[in-house]
Amino acid sequence: MAVSSMRASAKTQDTKTSGFDLLKSNPSSLIVPLISIGVVVMLTPLVLVPQLNEIIELRREVEQKESTLTDLTEKRTFLEGLDETTLQSDLDLAEKVLPKKKPVFNVIAALGQLVEKSELTLPSYDFTPGLLATESGKVGSVESDPGELAFLTVDYEVKGPFESIYTLMTLLETAAPLAAVKEISIDGMIVPESPDELSGTLTMQMFFSLPPVFRAKPEDPIKKMNARDQETLNEIAQFEEYELDMSNIPALDQQREDLFNY
Amino acid sequence: MNETVPSVNLLVGRKKAIQKKNVFFAKVQFIAALVLLVYIGLVVAILLVRFGVKAQSDSLDRKIDEQTLVLAQLRPVEEKYYTLTHKLTLLSEFLAVRGDMKASVRLIRDTLPEGVELASIGFGDNNQIMIEARVQDVFVLRDFLTLVRSQVSEDLFRTVNLDGFSRGEDGVWQLSSVYAIGS
């Protein structure tokens, strides 16, 4: 009886001994767990977290760079795919319709020819070209912002039937350089019996646009021509160019600045 | 007298307890070492991933530099293309409204009531046509106003604004109005 109670007591004592008590009884067994905990505690804030943050940051950068690279590659493929000869001829065409400088001589030539072609008589005209930069001048000295639609204004005194104004407007629709009637001032009826005859002043505009300032960076996306631009290109290809007959203009001395250029 | 003495072997329990204790210590050591190894493995893996991503980033940098260099050589082409599209945009905007102007001038002039004498026709920037006219008497002016009202109600013009009309000493009415075309 006594033996069995002693055994039971020893068993109970064994089961009651906790793991913590066991570890306390043998401190040397704590070395490895403590080292593990120490390593985890030290490496986590010093190495693991910064590295993880850096990975997240790098991944973000990589995604951004991949996107940039895709854009650059697309842009390069697009630009390399352009036929330079066609591009130059399209640009020449666009600049013929919308010159890159004040079309001083063209105004005199084109508008005069157009007015006459419309069967309007042209007693006189008044033309104020405004500021003209010289070869040594800066583009900024011309009163127009680069890339904006600007115009020169010419006042023509005209006589003829009103129908000719419509003819003129029709001709202007397909004239290069680009021009438009701004105002028709009618002095009065020339012949009271034929009210369609008019005498008045035609204020006309001749458009030009200084070259736009090109500041695009390589990574900037390229604005591609849309269907409307293509339609416009096809439309202006049909335009008739009115040029000044340069044979009537004395040749400029090459040693002197061309006042009509900049 | 042969008396049996009960024997108690207390070492059996003790031995078992020691064995159990040793197993426990071994488990603790093993788990701690395993945790340490796994953790170090994790750190190494993370470092490798970081170096991999960095290498990928550097490689992309090199590729971007190459493309940028090529694009710098293509800059004159890009500039020409930019100028072309810019001019075409300006032209498109201009040409889009010009056709309406001519048709509208014809409509305005051809439908003017008899007795209305045009003095000037001007073209505004926002699809507007301004006219100044002389009207001989008030009845013609009434006809003109009736016409303008009907033209707006028929959607021939978006709006027609009568800027003003005045009567001079000679009895002739001067009127100016602005026609807005387009939708």
Task: Answer yes or no: are the C-beta atoms of A177 and A236 closer than 8 Å.
Answer: no
**In this predicted structure, what is the pLDDT of residue B43?**
92
Return the structure tokens found at A202: 């035609």
The segment with the largest mean pLDDT, out of A134-138, A155-159, B65-69, is B65-69
Contacts of A236 in chain B (CB under 8 A): 91
pLDDT band at A6 (very low <50, low <70, confident <90, very high): low
Cross-chain Cβ contact B60/A65 below 8 Å: yes
Return the structure tokens found at B133: 């006219």
* Calpha distance A177→A102 (Å, rounded): 11
pLDDT band at A88 (very low <50, low <70, confident <90, very high): very high
Lowest-confidence pick of A18-22, A140-144, A231-235: A140-144
Report which of residues A102 and A225 the model is more confident about.
Answer: A225
Return the structure tokens found at A154: 């010419």
Question: Scanning every residue of chain A, which has its alpha carbon at the shortest distance from the alpha carbon of B35?
Answer: A36
Contacts of B74 in chain A (CB under 8 A): 76, 79-80
**In this predicted structure, what is the pLDDT of residue A15?**
52
What mean pLDDT is predicted for residues A138-152? 65
What mean pLDDT is predicted for residues B159-172? 84
Cross-chain Cβ contact B82/A214 below 8 Å: yes
Contacts of B86 in chain A (CB under 8 A): 147, 209, 212
Find the CB nearest B71 among A76, A149, A184: A76
**In this predicted structure, what is the pLDDT of residue A195?**
58
* Number of helical H runs and strand E runs in chain B: 3, 4
- pLDDT digits over B146-157, tens only? 888 888 888 888
What share of residues in chain B are helix, strand, coil (percent, to 5)?
65, 20, 20
Q: Is the pLDDT of residue A250 over 60?
A: no
Q: Is the pLDDT of residue A13 over 90?
A: no
**In this predicted structure, what is the pLDDT of residue A17?**
60
Contacts of A25 in chain B (CB under 8 A): 21
What mean pLDDT is predicted for residues B162-179? 85
- Cα-based angle B72, B77, B82 (whole degrees, multiple of 5): 105
Q: Among residues B6, B15, B14, which one has the least CA distance to residue A2?
A: B6
Return the structure tokens found at A250: 């004395």
Mutate to test the interface with A, among B28, B69, B88 (most CBs of A within 10 A): B88
What distance in Å separates residue B73's CA from the closest CA in chain A?
10
Question: Scanning every residue of chain A, which has its alpha carbon at the shortest distance from the alpha carbon of B123?
Answer: A182
- pLDDT digits over A46-68, tens only? 989 999 999 999 999 999 999 99
- pLDDT digits over B24-60, tens only? 888 888 999 999 999 999 999 999 999 999 999 999 9
What mean pLDDT is predicted for residues A186-201? 65
* Calpha distance B113→B15 (Å, rounded): 128
Q: Among residues A186, A182, A180, which one has the least CA distance to residue A160?
A: A186
Find the CB nearest B74 among A79, A98, A207: A79
Cross-chain Cβ contact A173/B99 below 8 Å: yes
Q: What does each C-alpha distance from A84 to A81, A235, A250, B77 come to in angstroms?
A: 9, 21, 35, 7
Q: Among residues B83, B80, B90, which one has the least CA distance to residue A211?
A: B83
Cβ neighbours for A253, distance < 8 A, ≥ 6 positions apart: none
Contacts of B31 in chain A (CB under 8 A): 33
Q: Is the pLDDT of residue B71 over 90?
A: yes
Please tell me whether the peptide bond between A177 and the residue prior to it is cis, using omega within 30 degrees of 0: yes
Return the structure tokens found at A176: 């290069």
ipTM score = 0.73
The model's pTM = 0.71
